[in-house]
Structure 1
Amino acid sequence: MERDRAGDQARPREVRGGGVFPMSWAVPLMFAAALAARAPEERQALIDLAYVLGEAHALRQVCSGTGDQTWRVRMNRMMELEQPDTGLERRLVDAFNAGFMTRQAERPACDAGALAAERATAVRGRALSEKLARSGP
C-alpha cells in the first residue's frame, strides 16, 4: 500500500498491463432524478450498487494503475445525485470500501481472471443501475 500525495488515503500499489473492459452501466443511474426518498428495496439496491462500484474500482486499478479514479468518481456522482441521509451515506461508503477491499484482495494482479471479474462486475452493475433508473422517485 502507498499513500496518496496528501498522505491521507491508503492505495494499492500500482500494477501495469492488461486491458480495461469499458463499463458504462452507471450512466442510466445518473439520469434518474434522485432527490426523493427511496423505498427500502431501492435503498438496498443503492447499497448493492455501491459495493459493485467498489469492486469495479479495485479491478480497474489493478490493470490501469492507482491513478485511475473512474469508479470512485462515479460513486461520488451517485452520492451527489442521491443526496442520502447520514445513515444511508455511511452504508454506501462502507459498501464501496468493502467491495474495493474484497476485490483488491482477490485480484492483486492484472490477469485473465481480473479481466473476467471486471466483465462480470459490469453485468451486475448494469443490472442494478437499470433497475434503479426504472424505479426512479
Structure 2
Amino acid sequence: MSRPFLLGVALAAFVAAPVLAQERDADGRQLLLDLAYALGESHALRQVCQGEADQYWRARMARVTEVEQADEAFDGQMRDRFNAGFASRRGQYPTCDQDSRQAEQQAAHRGQTLALKLSQSMRQVRKAPDSVAEGEAPR
C-alpha cells in the first residue's frame, strides 16, 4: 500500500468522529498545526509530479478545517501552517524526480503518524466514563 493511501485512511479515521479544535488541549492543537504543515508539504510535493490541478491534499486540509470548526484565530493558524509547509517544499523541490517522490513519501508518513496520534487522542477524550461516575453504586 502506498503512503498517501495510508495517510488518507488515517485522516478518514481522524475526521470520522471529530473532536472540535476548541475541545483539544494544547498538545492536541499542536498536533493539528503539525498535521496542517505536513498536509501542505504533501500538497506541494504531489503537485510537482501530478500538476497544479491536483487538489488531493488541499481537499483533505479543507475537510480537517471543516470538521474541527476552529475559532477564527486557530483556523487561520492551521491555514498558515498548511501554506508554510506548501511553500517550503515547493521551493525545495521545483521538479518531479526521485528526490521529490521520496520527500513526498516522507511527508505522507509524517502526516500519517500525526493523524494516528490525533485519532488516539480523540478516543481518550471520548472514552466512556467509568461506572462509578455514571452513578452506579460501588460494590
Number of aligned pairs? Answer: 118
1:21 shift after superposition? 5.9
Any idea what the Cα deviations from partners look like across 1:85-109, whole Å, max 9, x if unmatched? 1111111000000000000000000
Q: Name 1:62's counterpart in structure 2.
A: 48
TM-score, normalised relative to structure 2: 0.80
TM-score, normalised relative to structure 1: 0.81
Letter of the 2:5 partner, please give it.
Answer: M
Q: Name 1:49's counterpart in structure 2.
A: 35
* Ranges in structure 2 where 5+ consecutive residues have no aligned partner: 126-139
Q: Is 1:112–2:132 an aligned residue pair?
A: no
* Ranges in structure 1 where 5+ consecutive residues have no aligned partner: 1-19
More helix by share: 2
Q: Name 1:27's counterpart in structure 2.
A: 12
Structure showing greater radius of gyration is: 2
Q: Is 1:135–2:135 an aligned residue pair?
A: no
Runs of 4+ in 1 over 2 A off after TM superposition: 20-24
Calculate the aligned-residue CA RMSD, in Å: 1.5
